[in-house]
């Protein structure tokens, strides 16, 4: 047994300490990521999109490659979309970098769901590479490999890797910008600036990380006092200017409240809020984030990250990196708490948290006293073996369980390989409507991507369709059983009455303007979710 231990430790040590092996280690990390992603995909409904944002980006990308320009055929129910008053104003702006990435994939591989997912996969693998390079740049190969491994087996990041949404790109940009800035030369700083600008065109919350990277740059390149004063000045002025000019930011603060579903404001609900209510919302969301930290990232790595904030080294670069990461983590939580408290707005900072956590683990294990258990191995070998075992146990094992154990239950309860129910309902929409019709539906963006129709997400009540104009903007209403009881898609009692009794609608506007065209059903055996589905189509008289 001791001989086996020594052989394993010798092999690992030779790889970890030899700088000439950096390329080999990078390739090993990438291969591990690709292999894990392959097994992860096998247990997913990989031939169809599962994230509605991806469908929105894909629809825009399809418009780009077909010559229609940068435009979306889906809209929420609000005044900026419908050009009427009385609804909360939200921005229709969609950051273009992910849609253009998907459009490039369409040109190379054709318009398909797989082509939507390919960019996410590429950005995921790139993320693994830059995570390794950042960790190894600051703290050596061991930290780089273990940090990359923790990312490879993070469930949330794996989900984004196969989603087609912009998270994989955004997270990759965050880690890449960090890497370029810690290199500390003029050329790298120029490339970092390009990446930071690209972040602004990837996700709206990029402003958080722009400030974080400004702090990192100033602390690395300016005297401490000058760096702090310059940063505070830019941070305060920049934050005020951003809030004054950001419709999305103002909307998220004032309209996304804990007492309502996050989707209500996107479906026409307008609320008058005061400072007290916003403070209550903020405190409530902060508490919920704190309570649910284990669902955001590994609780063990969270603990190591916090410990790492109290462990400083003699390297200015390492300490400044930790300070900047702590700032970005703190601001990310605060901004998400005062705007929209979704975990997906926290996940982009996870790779940086994991890097700090891993280096803390390595430093703690390195401080152990020797000899250990009478094993004839060097201290460096012991550190490599122990830290690798801990990461495998606390960051890798759970994901392996999801891939190889939980998936068995999924296969028993779902029709693996069959289209999801929202895909079948969208295909039905395409069959029973015309391309030029504008359709109100509760199918979210799926009716646009899979149904290839101009769709509007249904408002909170049917009466809201009466926008006080002599002309009716909506050619048809397509109601389905898709997530009708879900909090974010909830079908209220007035809509439900129409859905259950479409030939006798109680709402006056619907009764006067629409007539039932047909009832449609989807058998449980035909869809992935293994559940019966129903749809109703009403058309304008």
Residue 252: predicted pLDDT: 64
Residue 204: predicted pLDDT: 86
Scanning the structure block, which residue is given the tokens 């801990």?
390
175/73 Cα distance (integer angstroms)? 33
Residue 339: predicted pLDDT: 84
48/423 Cα distance (integer angstroms)? 8
Q: Going from the N-terminus, what domains does the chain have, and what CATH number goes with each?
A: 2-37+51-411 (no CATH), 421-540 (3.40.190)
Scanning the structure block, which residue is given the tokens 């999109």?
49
Residue 271: predicted pLDDT: 65
Q: To 5 degrees, how large is the angle CA 421–CA 423–CA 425? A: 70
Residue 91: predicted pLDDT: 44
113/107 Cα distance (integer angstroms)? 13
26/7 Cα distance (integer angstroms)? 23
| Predicted confidence (pLDDT) per residue in 402-418, tens digit | 777 777 777 778 888 89
Six token digits for residue 250: 């103002």
10/12 Cα distance (integer angstroms)? 6
Q: To 5 degrees, how large is the angle CA 320–CA 324–CA 326? A: 115
3 state DSSP class of 77: coil
Of 159, 186, 187, 160, the C-alpha closest to 171 is: 160
Peptide bond into 371 cis (omega under 30): yes
Of 462, 490, 473, 440, the C-alpha closest to 74 is: 440
Asked whether 474 and 540 are in contact (CB, 8 A), the reply is: yes
Residue 536: predicted pLDDT: 97
Of 457, 454, 465, 458, the C-alpha closest to 510 is: 465
DSSP label at residue 420:
P
How many angstroms separate the Cα of 414 from the Cα of each of 384, 407, 446? 41, 10, 20
3 state DSSP class of 2: helix
Classify the C-alpha dihedral 147-150-156-158 as positive or negative: positive
Classify the C-alpha dihedral 94-96-98-103 as positive or negative: positive
Residue 87: predicted pLDDT: 39
Six token digits for residue 157: 């990041």
3 state DSSP class of 533: strand
517/403 Cα distance (integer angstroms)? 44
488/264 Cα distance (integer angstroms)? 8
Strand pairing category for 74-75 and 476-480: unpaired
Classify the C-alpha dihedral 229-232-235-239 as positive or negative: negative
Six token digits for residue 432: 């029973």
CA atoms within 13 A on the CB side of 315: 9
b/e code 350-382 from CB counts within 10 Å (16+ = b): bbbbbbbbbbbbbbbbeeeeeeeeebebeeebb
- pTM across the whole model: 0.90
Residue 150: predicted pLDDT: 96
32/29 Cα distance (integer angstroms)? 5
Scanning the structure block, which residue is given the tokens 């969301």?
285
Structure-derived torsion over alpha carbons of residues 189, 190, 195, 196, reported in degrees to the nearest 10: 70
How many angstroms separate the Cα of 294 from the Cα of each of 22, 264, 343, 350, 395? 32, 28, 11, 12, 12
144/432 Cα distance (integer angstroms)? 54
Of 268, 248, 255, 256, the C-alpha closest to 458 is: 268
Residue 7: predicted pLDDT: 45
Length of the chain in terms of residues written: 541
Kind and range of the H or E run holding 521: strand 514-522
Which residues of the chain carry a pLDDT beneath 50?
1, 3-8, 11, 15, 79, 81, 83-91
508/202 Cα distance (integer angstroms)? 43
């Amino acid at each position: 047994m001791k001989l086996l231990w020594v052989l394993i430790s010798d092999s690992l040590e030779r790889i970890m300490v030899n700088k000439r092996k950096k390329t080999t280690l990078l390739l090993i990390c990438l291969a591990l990521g690709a292999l894990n992603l392959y097994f992860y995909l096998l247990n997913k409904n990989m031939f169809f999109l599962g994230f509605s944002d991806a469908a929105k980006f894909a629809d825009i990308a399809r418009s780009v490659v077909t010559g229609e320009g940068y435009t979306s055929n889906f809209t929420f129910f609000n005044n900026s979309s419908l050009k009427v008053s009385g609804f909360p104003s939200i921005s229709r702006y969609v950051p273009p970098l992910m849609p253009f990435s998907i459009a490039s994939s369409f040109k190379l591989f054709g318009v398909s769901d797989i082509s939507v997912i390919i960019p996410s996969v590429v950005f995921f693998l790139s993320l693994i590479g830059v995570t390794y390079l950042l960790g190894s740049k600051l703290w050596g190969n061991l930290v780089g490999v273990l940090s990359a491994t923790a990312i490879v087996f993070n469930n949330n990041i794996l989900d984004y890797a196969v989603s087609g949404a912009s998270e994989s790109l955004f997270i990759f940009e965050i880690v890449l910008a960090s890497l370029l800035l810690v290199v500390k030369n003029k050329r790298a700083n120029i490339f970092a600036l390009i990446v930071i600008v690209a972040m602004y065109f990837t996700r709206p919350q990029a402003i958080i990380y722009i400030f974080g990277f400004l702090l990192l740059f100033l602390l690395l390149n300016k005297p401490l006092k000058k760096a702090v004063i310059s940063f505070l000045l830019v941070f305060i002025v920049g934050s005020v200017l951003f809030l004054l000019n950001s419709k999305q930011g103002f909307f998220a603060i004032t309209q996304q409240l804990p007492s309502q579903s996050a989707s209500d404001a996107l479906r026409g609900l307008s609320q008058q809020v005061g400072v007290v209510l916003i403070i209550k919302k903020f405190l409530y969301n902060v508490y919920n984030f704190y309570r649910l930290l284990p669902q955001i990232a590994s609780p063990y790595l969270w603990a190591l990250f916090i410990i790492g904030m109290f462990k400083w080294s003699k390297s200015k670069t390492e300490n400044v990196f930790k300070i900047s990461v702590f700032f970005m983590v703190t601001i990310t939580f605060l901004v998400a708490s005062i705007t929209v408290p979704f975990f997906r707005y926290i996940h982009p900072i996870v790779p940086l948290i994991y890097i700090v956590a891993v280096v803390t683990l390595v430093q703690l294990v390195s401080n152990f006293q020797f000899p250990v258990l009478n094993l004839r191995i060097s201290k460096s070998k012991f550190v490599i073996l122990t830290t690798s075992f801990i990461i495998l146990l606390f960051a890798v094992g759970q994901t392996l369980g999801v891939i190889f154990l939980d998936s068995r239950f999924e296969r028993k309860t779902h029709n693996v390989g069959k289209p999801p129910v929202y895909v079948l309902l969208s295909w039905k929409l395409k069959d029973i409507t015309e391309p030029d019709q504008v359709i109100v539906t509760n199918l979210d963006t799926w009716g646009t991507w899979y149904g290839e129709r101009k769709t509007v997400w249904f408002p909170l009540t049917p009466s809201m369709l009466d926008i006080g104009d002599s002309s009716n903007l909506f050619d048809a209403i397509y109601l389905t059983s898709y997530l009708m009881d879900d909090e974010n898609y909830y079908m209220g009692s007035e809509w439900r009455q129409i859905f259950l009794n479409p030939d006798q609608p109680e709402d006056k506007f619907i009764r006067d303007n629409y007539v039932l065209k047909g009832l449609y059903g989807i058998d449980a055996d035909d869809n992935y979710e293994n559940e019966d589905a129903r749809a109703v189509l009403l058309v304008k008289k």
